[in-house]
Amino acid sequence: EGMAPPQRILFPPEKICMAWQQRQRPGAGLDNLGNTCFLNSVLQCLTYTPPLANYLLSREHSRSCRQQGFCMMCVMEAHVNKVLHFSGSAIQPWTVVRVLTRIGEHFQLGMQEDAHEFLRYTVDAMQRACLSGSSNLDISSQATTIVHQIFGGFLRSRVTCLSCKAVSDSYEAFLDVPLDIKAASSVTAALEDFVKPEQLDGDNCFKCSKCDKMVAASKRFTIHRVPKVLTVCLKRFEGFTGRKISKVVEYPEYLDLRPYTSQAAGEPLLYALYAVLVHSGGSCHEGHYFCYTKASNGLWYKMDDTSVDGCGINTVLGQQAYLLFYVR
């Protein structure tokens, strides 16, 4: 499909199990250990990610882990097993909080952090743990860890010369899709904007290898290899001021990713929503995070630190979402 095949496969794809292996009521809520709502809500979204939870509940990772010292996969395995096997109402997430600065050295206990940034660093730390002991791997092989096979995909950037129509493709791995919502009122509209061709001209001209000169061109991103779990970040915070874009952006319970892929014609690529992370407050420097997750029993719950309360899908779909999690 245009990309180099991996030289090594680090985790056999057929061992990834997409459906919950055991059905149960939701696990424990999480105590707030001092401004840790950003961490609690991200951890709950990850805990209810079926293919990740199935793997962590099997404890397969820790049985074969050779890592000395900090290993994010071992940390997540301990956390998820504790949450989902706990019979009481809430636990203290010290397993993760204790290693906060190992996840990202700028994170400080007691400080309100950005949930998307924490998610990014956590998944990256899990990816690093899966790659430990495998140095100098090509990019396709790095994408065969269990973490990248669950959360990762590839974007294709295609630049077309407007003079000679020559096409130049490049590929980049992604672990989530950030969507601009300034002009969009729905996730599907924001995805359409994401794949809309952009003109390169004037100062942005493109050096065409066929014409051998700077030319006007069109550039278009498409999702080239779709992830098993699609994480969408709605860009609610202005980069410079941190001010929040507090508008309703509609998102569906079921999303067809097919129109936004490199092969836009074909069978639908259906994804089902299973977690929504919400920020309430006026800017990224203040406010509160909580989330809605779908437990293995198929029911939705609002998870707000220690409280875990059942709710309906209409409540879930009516939120000012910040992060959306969809499973294939």
Question: Is-catalytic flag, 116?
Answer: no
**CB within 8 Å of 113: residues ≥ 6 apart:** 35, 38, 39, 107
Calculate Rg over the CA atoms of the chain: 21
Catalytic member of 37, 71, 74, 284: 37
The residue whose two tokens read 């997750």 is 293
> Which has the closest alpha carbon to 257: 234, 293, 231?
231
Where do runs of H (alpha helix) occur along the chain? 37-47, 50-57, 60-64, 72-84, 94-97, 100-103, 115-131, 139-142, 146-151, 187-194, 313-317
Long-range contacts of 201-207 (CB under 8 A, 24+ apart): 206/159, 206/161
Amino acid present at 169 = D
Q: How far apart are CA 222 and CA 98, in angstroms?
A: 39
Of the residues 116, 205, 208, 288, only one is catalytic, namely 288
Among 136, 112, 123, CA closest to 75 = 123
Nearest of 263, 243, 8 to residue 145 by alpha carbon: 8
Is 106 designated active site?
Answer: no
Catalytic residue annotation: 37, 288
